[in-house]
Structure 1
Amino acid sequence: MIVVVGIGADGMSGLSTASRTELSRATVVYGSPRQLDLLDDSVSARRRAWPTPLLPALRALLDDAYEGHDVHVVASGDPLLHGIGNTLIRMYGSERVAVLPHVSSVTLACARVGWAVQDTEIISLVTAPAHTAVRRGGQAVVLSRDADSPAALARLLAETGRGDSELTVLEQLGGPLERRRSATAREWAGRPPQDVDKLNVMAVRYLPDERVAHALPDDVFAHDGQITKQSVRAVTLAALGPRPGEVLWDVGSGSGSIAVEWCRSASGCAAVAFERDAARRARVERNAVAFGVAVDVRGAAPAHFDGAPEPSAVFVGGGLTQPGVLEGCFDHLPVGGRLVANVVTVESEAVVSQWYSRLGGTLRRFQHYHGEPVGGFTGFRPAMPVTQWVVSKP
C-alpha cells in the first residue's frame, strides 16, 4: 500500500491523529525536501527526497521501495488537489493508494479572503504557462509555480486589459510565517515585490467582469477578417460537441476563434491550431493569451500534424483543397472522432461533396443576413453562405 499524507506549512502540529499514526509506523517516507523538513523526531523512517525530474522515475522508485512494506509519501496540503495523490492513483489504482488529506491551500485562501469555495475557480500554474490563469471575469485561487508567478500573472492581466483585477498573494498559508499582500494587477506588475515566498497562492478577482459563456462577438478577437463569424461559430461549436478534457485540431485556424471557444467550453479542453501564415499564427497566440486558454500553435497542415496530441475532434476552416489535408485529418482522428468542415467556395464544396458521398454524415448550408442602412431605411444584405459537413470517423 502507498499511503499519501498531506501536510501543511504548520508541519506536524497541524496533522490529525490518523496522519501522525501513519507517519510514526512508516519505514520509508518520500517527499520534496521542503515537506520532509517539516517532519519531527517522532517520524523515524528513512527520508527520501524526490528526484528531478520526478515522473520518469516515479514507478521504478516506488516499485523498488515496496519490498513487502507500505510506502509513505508526504505531500503539500490536499494531495488530491493538483497533487501527487492523483498521479499515484492513476499509476497504481485507488485500491493500492490511501490518501490522508490536510486542509488544502485553496480552502485556506478562500477563508482568508472570505470567498465561498464553490464559487471559486481553481487554476494551477505548477506545470502550465502563466497565461492560462487569465480570465475575463469571476474569481479564482491560482496555485503558483514559484516566487515569480504573481508578477508574471500580474503583467499578463495588465497587458490584456485586466489591470484593475484585484490580486491577493498569500504566502506560507497556515504556517507561522504566513503573509498576505494585496494590490491591483497593474500595481503589482509595475512594482513587483522582490521577497515573495516560493510557497504562495494567489486569490484573483478578475476585473472588469466581461464573462460571456460562448459565441463571443467577433470584435473581441484579434483578426484580419479571416475569422469564423459569431453566428457560424455558434453552430460550429454545437456540431463539434466539446467534452471535458478533449483535444481539438483547428486546421486553417485563421484567428483561432474556434480553438479559443473550444477551450473555453468545457474543463480541461485544449486545442492545436494549424496555420500556414506567420502573422495569423501570432494572432492565434495573442488570442489564446487574452482568453487564458491552452492552444498549441503550429505551422501549415498537413506537414505539421506529426507529433501533435491525438485529437478528439477536428475542425477544418481553411486549406481544405490542399493535397492531403482531409486524408491527414482522418489518419490522425481516432475511430468515433468527429470532423466538422466549413467551406464557402465551389472548389471546397466539390471536395466535401466527394467525401460526403463516401462517408456520409450530415451536410448543411447556412445563409444569414445582416440589417444595413439603405438610404433612410434598413435592408438585409446576405453574407456568404457556409456549407458544413459533419461526420464521425467510422
Structure 2
Amino acid sequence: MTAPWLTVIGIGEDGLAGLSEVARSALKSAEFVIGGKRHLELLDPVPGEVVQWPVPFSDGLELIDQRRGRPTVALATGDPMCFGLGATLSRRFPVGEMTVLPAQSAFSLAASRLCWPLQDVETLSFHGRPLDGLRAHLYPGARLLCLTTDGETPRLAADILADEGYGASRMTVLEHLGGPRERIVSGIAESWHETVADLNLMAIEAVPVRDTPVRSRVPGLPDDAFRHDGKITKREIRAATLAKLAPHPGALLWDVGAGSGSVSIEWMRSSPRAMAIALEPHAERRGFALANAAALGAPGLDLRDASAPEGLEGLPRPDAVFFGGGLTAPGVVEAALEALKSGGRLVANAVTLESEAVLLKAYEKHGGELCRLSIQRASPVGGLTGWRPLMPVTQWSFVKP
C-alpha cells in the first residue's frame, strides 16, 4: 500500500486555532497546499507552495494529481467527508494514499446550538444542487439541516415552503458557525425577510398549514400530483410496479417510455441517492416530466430525448429497468436484459395486445412472473355510485441471475 501523501484538513471558522497538532504538522511539512480563498485567509500565512482552488473545480484535482507522491495538503470546510472535498478526492485516490483530518461539521455545530438530536434530523446539502430537492423532504414535524449555496438560498427556500403549504414552518439560519462572527436568526417562512451571510446553514422545522396534503415517499402518489396528458402509470399500478422494481439507496433505474416521469420520479423519492435515467421521445411529455421532477423534489432526474433500444447505448448499467412503453421496438427487451446488472430487476407493463405478445414471449424464454392487474374506481352513475374499470395491465417482472 502506498504511504499517505495527501492530507485533507478540515477547517472551522476558528482557523489555525482549531487545528490539531497533527493537522498543523501536516500543514508545516507540505510542499503544496491548495484551498479556497476563505480557507487560505483563515490560515494566513501558509508555508510551501500555495494555490487558491481554480475554476473549473476539476482543474484543482488535476493540480493535486500532478503532485502525486509529494507531501500535499488540500483544505476543506468542516468535515471533508460530509458533503465535502474528501468524498470527491476518495473517488479519485486510493484510501491508502490519503489522510483525512476533520473539524467539526456544520451539522454537528448546528445541532448543538439548536439542541436537536442529530439522529432525528435529515441532513441535506443544496450547495451547488437544485433547491427543488427540498420538496421531497417535507412532512409534518420534519427537522431539516441544510447546507446552502449563499445568502440567497434561505429566501428561495422560504418561497418553496410557502408554495408547498409549509409557510408556517420555522426557519433558523446559522452564520459562520464556530467563529467570532457566528450569528443565529430565526423567522417564519411565509414572512421571511432576513438578510444573511453567504456562509450559512439553514434549519427548518416543517409546519404545514391546514389541508396541506402529505406526500409520502412510499410510492403511490395521487395521479393529480403529476402533470400529464392521460398517458400515465396509474397510482395503484405504479405502487405495484415500484414494489417489484425495489428501489434502494444509490440504485440506478432506466425508465423507458417515461411519459410524465411518474415511475422514475417516485423511484428517486423513495430511497436516498436513488438515480433514474428516463427516455421519452415525445416533447410535450418531456416537458411534463421536467415540471413534475422539479415540483416533486426529484430535480436530478436525467431525462433524455431518446427511444430504446438506440437510446440505451452507452448508458451506465442499471440496477433496474422499467418499460412503460416502447416494448414493440425490435430487440428492446433483450438489450435491456443484456445491460442489467446481476440481481437487477426488470418490470414491463403492457396495455395493448401487441405489447402483451412481447411479454408472453419474454416470459416463455426467461421465466420470471407474469400477472394481470385490474383496477376499478368508484364514480357517480346518475344519482348513485358504480364501478368504472381502468384498462387492465399485463405485467412481466424478472430478476436477472
Counterpart mapping for 1:1-394 below 5 A: 1=4, 2-41=6-45, 43-55=46-58, 57-58=60-61, 60-67=62-69, 69-134=70-135, 135-137=137-139, 138-188=142-192, 191=193, 193=195, 196-208=196-208, 210-214=214-218, 215-293=220-298, 294-302=300-308, 304-305=311-312, 308-322=315-329, 325-326=332-333, 329-330=336-337, 332-334=339-341, 336-371=343-378, 380-393=387-400
Question: Do the aligned residues in 1 keep the contact of 2:215 with 2:221 (CA within 8 Å)?
Answer: no
Of 347-356 and 178-187, deviating more is: 178-187
Question: Do the aligned residues in 2 keep the contact of 1:133 with 1:142 (CA within 8 Å)?
Answer: no
Give the Å deviation of 1:213. 3.5
Question: Do the aligned residues in 1 keep the contact of 2:16 with 2:42 (CA within 8 Å)?
Answer: yes
Give the Å deviation of 1:319. 3.2
Question: Do the aligned residues in 2 keep the contact of 1:342 with 1:386 (CA within 8 Å)?
Answer: yes
Per-residue deviation, residues 291-335 of structure 1 (Å, max 9, x unmatched): 212212222423644565543211111232345644554465445
CA 1:389–1:383 in structure 2 vs 1: closer, same or farther (change >3 Å)? same
Per-residue deviation, residues 195-218 of structure 1 (Å, max 9, x unmatched): x32222211223328252412333
Query: Counterparts of 1:61 and 1:117 in 2: how far apart (Å)?
Result: 36
Question: Do the aligned residues in 1 keep the contact of 2:177 with 2:183 (CA within 8 Å)?
Answer: yes
Provide structure 1 residue ranges, at least 5 long, that are not aligned to the other structure.
Answer: none
Query: Counterparts of 1:278 and 1:165 in 2: how far apart (Å)?
Result: 37
TM-score, length-scaled by structure 1: 0.87
Query: Counterparts of 2:170 and 2:328 in 1: how far apart (Å)?
Result: 48
Question: Do the aligned residues in 1 keep the contact of 2:323 with 2:349 (CA within 8 Å)?
Answer: yes
CA 1:331–1:165 in structure 2 vs 1: closer, same or farther (change >3 Å)? farther
Of 98-107 and 290-299, deviating more is: 290-299
CA 1:127–1:246 in structure 2 vs 1: closer, same or farther (change >3 Å)? farther
Give the Å deviation of 1:116. 1.5
Provide structure 2 residue ranges, at least 5 long, that are not aligned to the other structure.
Answer: none
Query: Counterparts of 1:181 and 1:292 in 2: how far apart (Å)?
Result: 26
Question: Do the aligned residues in 1 keep the contact of 2:252 with 2:319 (CA within 8 Å)?
Answer: yes
3-state SS of paired residue (1:259)? helix
Per-residue deviation, residues 144-168 of structure 1 (Å, max 9, x unmatched): 1233332333333333444333322
Identity of matched residues, %: 45
CA 1:63–1:253 in structure 2 vs 1: closer, same or farther (change >3 Å)? closer
Question: Do the aligned residues in 1 keep the contact of 2:53 with 2:60 (CA within 8 Å)?
Answer: no
Q: Which amino acid aligns with 2:247?
A: P
**Number of residues of Structure 1 aligned to a counterpart in Structure 2:** 387
Query: Counterparts of 1:13 and 1:157 in 2: how far apart (Å)?
Result: 38
Question: Do the aligned residues in 1 keep the contact of 2:147 with 2:201 (CA within 8 Å)?
Answer: yes
Query: Counterparts of 1:49 and 1:366 in 2: how far apart (Å)?
Result: 60
Aligned-residue RMSD, C-alpha: 2.7
Question: Do the aligned residues in 2 keep the contact of 1:136 with 1:207 (CA within 8 Å)?
Answer: no
Per-residue deviation, residues 67-94 of structure 1 (Å, max 9, x unmatched): 5x42222210001101111222222222
Query: Counterparts of 2:23 and 2:303 in 1: how far apart (Å)?
Result: 45
Q: Which amino acid aligns with 1:82?
A: F
Query: Counterparts of 2:67 and 2:102 in 1: how far apart (Å)?
Result: 22
Query: Counterparts of 2:380 and 2:159 in 1: how far apart (Å)?
Result: 43
Question: Do the aligned residues in 2 keep the contact of 1:340 with 1:388 (CA within 8 Å)?
Answer: yes
Query: Counterparts of 1:258 and 1:238 in 2: how far apart (Å)?
Result: 11
Query: Counterparts of 1:279 and 1:162 in 2: how far apart (Å)?
Result: 30
TM-score, length-scaled by structure 2: 0.86
Q: Which amino acid aligns with 1:277?
A: H
CA 1:186–1:311 in structure 2 vs 1: closer, same or farther (change >3 Å)? farther
Per-residue deviation, residues 250-291 of structure 1 (Å, max 9, x unmatched): 222233221121112211002122233333322222221222
Give the Å deviation of 1:124. 1.4
3-state SS of paired residue (1:92)? coil
Query: Counterparts of 1:207 and 1:281 in 2: how far apart (Å)?
Result: 33
Question: Do the aligned residues in 1 keep the contact of 2:276 with 2:302 (CA within 8 Å)?
Answer: yes
Question: Do the aligned residues in 2 keep the contact of 1:136 with 1:291 (CA within 8 Å)?
Answer: no
Query: Counterparts of 1:389 and 1:268 in 2: how far apart (Å)?
Result: 26
Q: Which amino acid aligns with 2:205?
A: R
3-state SS of paired residue (2:42)? coil
Query: Counterparts of 2:128 and 2:150 in 1: how far apart (Å)?
Result: 11
Query: Counterparts of 1:119 and 1:204 in 2: how far apart (Å)?
Result: 13
